[in-house]
Amino acid sequence: MAANFNNSAWFYDRLSRLVYGNSLVNAQLYLLSFIKPGSRVLIVGGGTGWILEELTKIHPSGLLITYVEVAAAMMDLSEKRDIGGNEIVYIQNEIEQVNLTPGFDVVITPFLFDNFTEQTLKTVFTHIHTSLKPEALWLNADFQLTGKLWQQFLLKSMFVFFRLICGIEAGKLPEIKTCFISNSYTVVDERTFYSDFIVANIYRNAIVYM
User: What pLDDT, in 10s, does the model give residues 137-188?
Assistant: 999 999 999 999 999 998 888 877 666 666 566 568 889 999 999 999 999 9
Q: Count the Cβ atoms, other than its own, within 10 Å of residue 122.
A: 16
Phi, psi of 169 (to 5 degrees): -85, -20
> Rounded distance, CA 190 to CA 200, Å?
6
DSSP annotation of 101 reads P
Dihedral, 27, 29, 34, 35 alpha carbons, nearest 10: 130
Cα→Cα distances 63→47, 66, 136, Å: 19, 10, 15
> Of the candidates 91, 96, 99, 68, which has an alpha carbon nearest to the alpha carbon of residue 1?
96
Pick the more confident residue, 169 or 189. Answer: 189
Number of H helices, E strands in the chain: 7, 7
Strand ranges in the chain using DSSP code E only, listed in sequence order: 40-44, 61-68, 85-91, 104-110, 132-143, 185-193, 198-205
Tens digits of residue pLDDT in 50-109: 999 999 999 999 999 999 999 899 999 999 999 999 999 999 999 999 999 999 999 999
Predicted structure pTM score: 0.88
**Whole-angstrom distance, CA of residue 68 vs CA of residue 95:** 7
